[in-house]
Amino acid sequence: MVKDRFGFTMQILACTFIAYMLISLFYLYFVVGGAWNLVGRALLDSRVLGALTISVSSAFIVGGLAIAAAIPVAYLLAYKDFRGRGMLETLLIDLPQTFPPVTEGLVYLLMFGRFGLAYTFTAVILAKFYVSAPFTVSFATRRFREIKATGLDVIARSLGAKTRHIMGKVLLPLSARDLLAGFSLTWARAMGELAATLVFAGAIPWKTEIIPSLVYLTAETAPEVAMAASVIAETLSIIALVSFRWITRVRA
């Protein structure tokens, strides 16, 4: 006899949700397990390898650019007091993560198309950067604020440190882990981005075709290729998130 019926119902609902999410996550591996030889062959397909190369290399470049952008932006947001700072933060961090990527792709097509940037590797990077960089900016801003609250920058200045010393000797060493954590999320998001890249960069094999566009384009015509590409994408994203968990746990 269950005494706390409401609590018990809550647990059942929670377990249902958890089971649904976990099955969705691992379903692909079960399916692929049944047709491993087909998928195995597709993995060696030149088009799949091309998409993997473009996806991974562009995601690393986007992650690096995100760190380069996050440091000055986070410093501005954390240390400078100005009107509209909250609004700017929403525009820089929250909006890009909810903005429809397909629209963003169109905007870039109109904005940069005339400079011959459409359908190039650079277009892949620009398209991914907009939606993925905010993770790193957000992590860096939060950490810089935490450090500011400790007053360490005031102490450093009282010892004669200029802004460049504070950045190099205080802020960056103390936020290295957060930048790395932001990098791993940015990288994972960049790996998963589809719509903006498809619209702005197209899907030219070995040039702008990434894993998600390959999956999209082959899902009906060559499902084993789509599955192979998906397994790779999913595995890499799991690795990225496990790294993220590890990086943040080590800090705690």
**What is the CB neighbour count within 10 angstroms for residue 103?**
12
Residue with tokens 């460049």, as numbered in its chain: 164
**Is residue 161 a contact point for other proteins (CB under 8 A)?**
yes
Composition of the chain by helix, strand, coil, percent to 5: 85, 0, 15
Please report how close the Cβ of residue 169 comes to other proteins at its closest, in angstroms.
7
Q: Which of residues 38 and 167 has its CB atom nearest to other proteins in the complex?
A: 167
**Is residue 150 a contact point for other proteins (CB under 8 A)?**
yes
Please report how close the Cβ of residue 154 comes to other proteins at its closest, in angstroms.
5
Task: For residue 142, give the nearest of 77, 85, 221, 48 by alpha carbon.
Answer: 77
Q: Which of residues 85 and 157 has its CB atom nearest to other proteins in the complex?
A: 157
Window contacting other proteins (CB under 8 A); options: 56-64, 99-107, 113-121, 163-171: 163-171
**Is residue 155 a contact point for other proteins (CB under 8 A)?**
yes
Please report how close the Cβ of residue 68 comes to other proteins at its closest, in angstroms.
22
**Is residue 157 a contact point for other proteins (CB under 8 A)?**
yes
**Is residue 149 a contact point for other proteins (CB under 8 A)?**
no
Q: Of the candidates 169, 239, 242, 245, which one interacts with other proteins according to CB under 8 A? A: 169
3-state secondary structure 150-186: HCHHHHHHHCCCCHHHHHHHHHHHHHHHHHHHHHHHH
CA of residue 96 relative to chain centroid, distance: 12
- Read out DSSP for 53-93? HHHHHHHHHHHHHHHHHHHHHHHHHHH---TTHHHHHIIII
**Is residue 159 a contact point for other proteins (CB under 8 A)?**
yes
**Is residue 72 a contact point for other proteins (CB under 8 A)?**
no
**Is residue 174 a contact point for other proteins (CB under 8 A)?**
yes
> Considering CB under 8 A, how many residues would be counted as binding other proteins?
17
**What is the CB neighbour count within 10 angstroms for residue 48?**
22
Q: Which of residues 82 and 115 has its CB atom nearest to other proteins in the complex?
A: 82
**Is residue 160 a contact point for other proteins (CB under 8 A)?**
yes
Residues ≥6 apart with Cβ < 8 Å to 184: 63, 240, 241, 243, 244, 247
Window contacting other proteins (CB under 8 A); options: 23-31, 130-138, 155-163, 222-230: 155-163
Going from the C-alpha of 147 to that of each of 75, 80, 163, the distances in angstroms are 11, 14, 14
Query: Contact residues for other proteins (CB under 8 A)?
Result: 150-152, 154-162, 165, 169-170, 173-174
